[in-house]
């Protein structure tokens, strides 16, 4: 047997094993009335293939690789049940944007939690080191097989994953903020103390339905972070965006900010705000690209060096 045929058999055995393990063969998925494909469509609607309310049917079809006709029937069924609303693009009438209604978000929320819980239960028997290897291997598979535009000048991207925080991450976030901001901007230990207060408050008062921390991980090591926390009932706050120098240029910062915006929309916030410094030019470019704009600024020397603080906002 040729080596390529042997490898194909290994892949097919793995596919059969994993689809059984995650329960993907049944007509319904996660013990719900929805099929696996319908749950995947709901996920794309909730997390915004095109970025929040700019999700389109063509974007979902492309992301999931499913037949447009089947997707169209699925979306019509969702609309009849009041799970989605549609809106014509004001700039291009050929495109229709799709958004989950409150009923749609309510239907998807328990599925999202159940899916996360099942993965947690699957990984729980493994040691932390084995969990890291499994997640890293999955990222490697995705990164190796995912189709990317071929350009001769593009830098080769190593895969990374986003995950929720776990014990040890908060200490890493405080340490890396303190070390990086001192090295790159001259901030003293008062900035590190501020970060420590932010993460302590997050852990002590966490509301999982409305607040979250994402950790970007590459080759099994944390390389980035961001938080979304509740400022008020209708206002969320983006905090502590960080990308390690070794992982910059891979789009991690943009992805982290996109996750915050999508989560805030799904959680029902009307606005996201953030506090940053004028010298953080790379972060400010990411914020501007995501639709944030600066609404207020003030000079200060809170961290041992003169700086200009800025407040940015994004209406959702």
Q: pLDDT digits over 148-180, tens only?
A: 544 444 444 446 889 999 999 999 999 999 999
* Confidence category of residue 235, pLDDT binned at 50, 70, 90: very high
Residue 91, pLDDT score: 60
| Paired tokens of 224 | 């980035």
- What's residue 70's pLDDT? 87
Summary mean pLDDT of the chain: 84
Q: Please name the residues in contact with 169: beta carbons below 8 A apart, sequence gap of 6 or more.
A: 213, 215, 222, 225
User: Looking at residue 94, what is its pLDDT?
Assistant: 61
Neighbour-count burial for 118-144, b at 16+ CB within 10 Å, e otherwise? eeeeeeeeeeeeebeeebbeebeeeee
> Which stretch, 14-28, 33-47, 137-151, has highest mean pLDDT?
33-47
Q: Tell me if the pTM is above 0.75.
A: no
Name the more confident of 307 and 34. Answer: 307
The pairing of beta strand 235-243 with beta strand 271-277: parallel
pLDDT digits (tens, 9 = 90+) for 61-103: 877 778 888 888 999 999 999 998 888 766 655 667 888 898 9
pLDDT digits (tens, 9 = 90+) for 236-294: 999 999 999 989 888 999 999 999 999 999 899 999 999 999 999 999 999 999 999 99
pLDDT for 52 equals 47
Where do the domains of the chain lie, and which CATH numbers do they carry? Answer: 3-121 (1.10.10.10), 128-146+159-315 (3.40.630.30)
State both tokens at 91: 């700039």
Gyration radius from the chain CA atoms: 21
> Looking at the predicted structure, is the pLDDT value of residue 133 above 80?
no
d(CA 218, CA 202): 24
Per-residue confidence (pLDDT) for residue 146, from 0 to 100: 60
Residue 104 burial (CB < 10 Å; 0-12/13-18/19+)? Answer: buried
What is the C-alpha separation between 220 and 185, in angstroms, rounded?
28
Q: What share of the chain is helix, strand, coil (3-state, %, to 5)?
A: 50, 20, 30
∠ Cα 301 303 309 (to 5°): 60
pLDDT at position 23: 60
C-alpha pair distances (Å), 139 with each of 11, 38, 142, 165, 258: 16, 24, 5, 18, 19
Q: What whole-number distance in Å separates Cα of residue 189 and Cα of residue 195? A: 10
Contact 33, 248 (CB under 8 A): no
């Amino acid at each position: 047997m040729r080596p390529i045929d042997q490898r194909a058999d290994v892949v097919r055995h793995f596919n059969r094993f994993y689809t059984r393990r995650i329960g993907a063969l049944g007509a319904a998925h996660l013990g719900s009335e929805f099929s696996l494909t319908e749950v995947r469509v709901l996920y794309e609607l909730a997390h915004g293939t095109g970025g929040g309310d700019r999700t389109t049917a063509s974007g979902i079809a492309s992301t999931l690789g499913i037949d447009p006709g089947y997707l169209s029937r699925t979306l019509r069924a969702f609309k009849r049940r009041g799970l989605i609303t549609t809106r014509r693009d004001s700039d291009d009438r050929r495109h229709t944007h799709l958004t989950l209604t409150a009923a749609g978000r309510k239907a998807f929320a328990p599925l999202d939690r159940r899916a996360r819980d099942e993965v947690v239960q699957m990984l729980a028997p493994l040691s932390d080191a084995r969990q890291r290897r499994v997640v890293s291997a999955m990222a490697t598979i995705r990164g190796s097989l995912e189709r990317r535009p071929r350009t001769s000048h593009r830098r080769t991207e190593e895969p990374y994953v986003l995950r929720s925080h776990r014990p040890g991450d908060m200490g890493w976030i405080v340490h890396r903020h303190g070390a990086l901001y001192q090295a790159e901007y001259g901030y003293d230990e008062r900035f590190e103390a501020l970060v420590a207060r932010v993460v302590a408050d997050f852990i002590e008062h966490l509301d999982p339905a409305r607040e979250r921390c994402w950790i970007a991980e590459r080759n099994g090591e944390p390389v980035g972070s961001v938080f979304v926390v509740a400022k008020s009932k209708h206002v969320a706050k983006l905090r502590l965006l960080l990308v390690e120098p070794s992982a910059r240029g891979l789009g991690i910062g943009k992805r982290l900010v996109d996750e915050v915006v999508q989560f805030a929309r799904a959680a029902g916030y009307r606005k996201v705000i953030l506090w940053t410094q004028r010298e953080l030019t790379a972060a400010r470019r990411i914020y501007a690209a995501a639709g944030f704009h600066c609404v207020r600024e003030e000079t200060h020397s809170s961290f041992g060096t003169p700086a200009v603080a800025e407040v940015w906002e994004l209406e959702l």
